Structure 1
Amino acid sequence: MTLATDSLSITPQILSLISELDEFKGAWKALGTLAPERLSALRRVATIESIGSSTRIEGAKLSDREVERLLSNLEIRQFETRDEQEVAGYAQTMETVFAHADSIELTENHIKQLHRDLLRHSAKDERHRGEYKTNPNHVSAFDAEGREIGVVFETATPFDTPHKMRELVEWTRSALAERTLHPLLVIGIFTVVFLEIHPFQDGNGRLSRILTTLLLLRAGYAYVPYSSLESVIEQSKEGYYLALRQTQTTIRTDAPDWQPWTLYFLRSLQQQKARLEKKLERERITATSLPSLSTEILALAKEHGRLTIGQIVTLTGANRNTVKKHLQSLVAANHLAQHGRGKGTWYGRA
């Protein structure tokens, strides 16, 4: 591909960020202190955050709590609103990537299949899902209410899209195989160029984040499902759009300015890692300082979101009075919050 990556200056700041992320990547491989059910709970929370954030970045309005309720009923095949359709498609496509990343190579065919899966529940997108765009489109920014507030960037024409995508995929595969650049830099460049092309009629932003996760997993960053990169991006949307625009306007010139997007991308990965480190530290403190039943109750609360005493008794097999005592201690220590009164009482994360 005719991308002038030689213009990417590997500054001490970029080297430091890459080194920090690779150090954590190595530490994660050696991590064996958390029980599988606790890792599962961490991943479920991160997945809910990722789905909610990624769809809200594109204008959806469902909260994380609404996303969680929807995910608990994914056997439903008809979704009433477009927001629900987008959340369901994003959730199922992410699960595909988590489960099969090793076997999903970066090819145009796989990219189209993931796009088709992403929009599988959206009747509005039925005609164009899994196929490159046939009409011009552009990148828009949305405010907190989901209203479009302006065009961020003009994208590739439908005529140019197929060969630009072919070149991008070939360049990315070659760069990753030959290690001509560090994998994190290659993944960052792939993402910003993919969004500059904007190859599909709709769903490009969401698909770009799914593809970023896929490439990170294939590059050995196995911790990414346990901390939400999408949530980091949602909370820095102004910086996200600014970095995209600053780099994208230069991509097709002789001297692209990769620096704005590269720094934003690496700093976002740094934030993702830092959030996971904090969660792991809380898990370790909790695991070493609480009785085993209390630890189990906390893990269940993370996994299910809300629990009644009856549910906890059923899931743990513990005595009802014993469960009540542990719940009282967990609420007093601010590990859990009690909601409602009497028979309507339930418990969730504080």
Structure 2
Amino acid sequence: MDQMIYSIPSLTAVDQRVLKEIDDLGERLRRYLHVPQRWYGPLRRATMARSVRGSVAIEGYHASLDNVTSVLEHDEGVDLARETRAAIAGYRDAMTFALQVASDWTRVDLSLIRALHFMMMRHDLQSRPGNWRPGAVWVRDNDGNIVYTAPDRSELEILLYELVDQLATTKAPAMVKAAMAHLNLVLVHPFRDGNGRVARGLQTFVLGTEGILEPVFSSIEGYLWQNTSGYYAALTEVAAGEWSPHRDPRPWIRFCLTAHYHQARVHLRRIEETELLWGDCESIAAAAGLPQRVVGGLSDAARGRRLQRSLYRRLTLLTTAQEISDPVATRDLAALTRVGLLEPHGQARSRHYLATPRLREVWRNIRARRRESPIGDPYVSFGQQQMPTD
């Protein structure tokens, strides 16, 4: 019987070593995240925003991290094009759903894949949200040339059943299984549009079902956005222009494991810097005689983010589990302005606050302490200059 979908390959010794390094980094992350910290909520929020921004940016929907965060928090006042806002909101809803049910979902099935597509694409009825493509489909480059031909429509459901069966029955490391789910789904190309978004979401969901850390901190979408050309190059190398399940998927596995390695290193750095910033802001607030609840807003502002009253209230709830009123938030922001930590801008509904140079300096000093050299390719670091040819 001919091979129907891309099979999970045997792993090389270098693959195993990279996985071990990722596991070790993951254990360090778990130690940080195991004990609840006040800074955890804002960090998780920012990490989710980066993942969503990365995934939709790959599809051409660009927005600042502040604007993406505002959409994730259902802020209707954000200034974005309708289609960009809808794409972000759709991805937000799909990933919120996936992250909520991942630990309880016994296995990936076709209804889950269709549900993810519906939530991500419901703003665009031309993409037939939640429905398989009606016929043949091709991927074209910017010049209109066909660069990939997906399998025939008559094979679609059979191939997708093979995909979910592979996930349910094949023994392999979770990151490898998740990468293969992404590869097979995006190359089967079951939808008219939105295949990449659904494949990336499915990869994160599989990591969640396999119990890998917290899925928000295991997603590689930020790395895929920052390395979009490498992302497409790895897919192109494996597919070679058409549905070719007999080809070796190892270039794709290597790319995904490299992405996990990079993301884990970046998350560790961000956690360490977030902890330092939180401690510095606590000291500043205490020295100024300000309540502990202002620290979450100070930390956000120190990083250069705009602080509005509604956002300040959300941050306070996120970091203290206490809801404050508009008058209390207004008084806090006025107090932070009086002591020279925030600068007010705008009037009425457009009123917002930015960090003063004094507060921004706190974050600059933390970033200046970085001693880490650029994160390299773990495969090169571990001695493999070329992919195996066997």
Task: Please say whether Structure 1 and Structure 2 have the same fold, judged by a TM-score greater than 0.5.
Answer: yes
Residues 317, 216 of structure 1: alpha-carbon distance in 2 compared, 3 angstrom cutoff: farther
Q: 2:297 corresponds to which residue? A: 297
Please, which of 176, 180, 187 is the counterpart of residue 178 of structure 2?
187
Gaps of 5+ in 2: 286-293, 314-326, 364-390
**How many residues align structurally?**
326
- Distance in 2, matches of 1:109 and 1:275, equals 34
Residues 309, 258 of structure 1: alpha-carbon distance in 2 compared, 3 angstrom cutoff: closer
- C-alpha displacement at 1:213, in angstroms? 0.7
Matched, 1:346 2:360: no
Matched, 1:43 2:44: yes
3-state SS of the aligned residue for 1:160? Answer: helix
Please, which of 199, 210, 213 is the counterpart of residue 204 of structure 2?
213
Q: Deviations over 1:97-125 (max 9, x none)?
A: 12221123301111112212222233333
3-state SS of the aligned residue for 2:139? Answer: strand
User: AA paired with 2:42?
Assistant: A
Farther off after superposition, 213-222 or 9-18? 9-18
Residues 321, 134 of structure 1: alpha-carbon distance in 2 compared, 3 angstrom cutoff: closer
Please, which of 218, 227, 232 is the counterpart of residue 223 of structure 2?
232
User: 1:233, 1:268 within 8 Å by CA — same for their partners in 2?
Assistant: yes
- Distance in 1, matches of 2:212 and 2:304, equals 27
Counterpart mapping for 1:34-183 below 5 A: 35-73=36-74, 81-104=82-105, 105-125=107-127, 128-140=128-140, 151-175=146-170, 179=171, 181-183=172-174
Q: TM-score, normalised by structure 1?
A: 0.79
User: AA paired with 1:107?
Assistant: D
Matched, 1:327 2:341: yes
User: 1:132, 1:199 within 8 Å by CA — same for their partners in 2?
Assistant: yes
- Distance in 2, matches of 1:274 and 1:326, equals 35
Q: Deviations over 1:187-246 (max 9, x none)?
A: 212211111101111111001111111011111222341476222111111111110011
- C-alpha displacement at 1:73, in angstroms? 3.5
- C-alpha displacement at 1:271, in angstroms? 1.5
User: 1:155, 1:196 within 8 Å by CA — same for their partners in 2?
Assistant: yes
Q: 2:277 corresponds to which residue? A: 286
3-state SS of the aligned residue for 1:221? Answer: coil
Q: TM-score, normalised by structure 2?
A: 0.72
Gaps of 5+ in 1: 142-146, 329-337
Residues 43, 291 of structure 1: alpha-carbon distance in 2 compared, 3 angstrom cutoff: closer
- C-alpha displacement at 1:305, in angstroms? 4.0
Please, which of 253, 257, 266 is the counterpart of residue 248 of structure 2?
257
Farther off after superposition, 308-317 or 192-201? 308-317
- Distance in 2, matches of 1:107 and 1:227, equals 21
RMSD value, Cα:
3.5
